């Protein structure tokens, strides 16, 4: 079920990005499933679409976003998705075809990424 909390757009490496956990929440899929689909479709995700956070970046993200405190117990480093990466991840993670009319919150996040 989709959480109604706003999805924060972070600025990492000079780019506006979404963290994989936030993107998974936005598309109402488990983070594990999103990352599995991204791994299976790696050829669709060049370096400028997605990157893995460094341990230091992970620590900074956890500090900035209280709701991501669970990440500090994870051995895996989260991934960050740029605007194009977020759109490609939506296609990769979709268990069903993309809806004709996506919910407004998905469009708003895309607009915020573009305007940064």
23-64 pLDDT, tens digit per residue, is 888 888 888 888 888 888 888 888 889 999 999 999 888 888
Q: Is the pTM of this model over 0.95?
A: no
Q: Which long-range contacts (CB under 8 A, 24 or more apart) does 8-12 make?
A: 8/64, 8/65, 9/109, 9/112, 9/113, 9/116, 10/61, 10/64, 10/65, 10/80, 11/116, 12/53, 12/57, 12/61, 12/80
């Amino acid at each position: 079920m989709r959480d109604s909390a706003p999805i924060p757009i972070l600025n990492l490496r000079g780019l506006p990005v979404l963290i994989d956990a936030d993107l998974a929440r936005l598309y109402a899929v488990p983070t594990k499933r999103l990352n599995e689909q991204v791994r299976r479709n790696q050829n669709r995700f060049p370096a400028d679409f997605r990157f893995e956070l460094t341990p230091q970046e992970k620590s900074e993200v956890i500090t900035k976003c209280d709701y991501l405190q669970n990440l500090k117990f994870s051995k895996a480093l989260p991934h960050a998705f740029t605007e194009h990466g977020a759109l490609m991840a939506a296609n990769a993670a979709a268990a069903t075809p993309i809806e004709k009319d996506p919910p407004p919150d998905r469009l708003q996040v895309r607009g915020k990424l573009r305007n940064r």
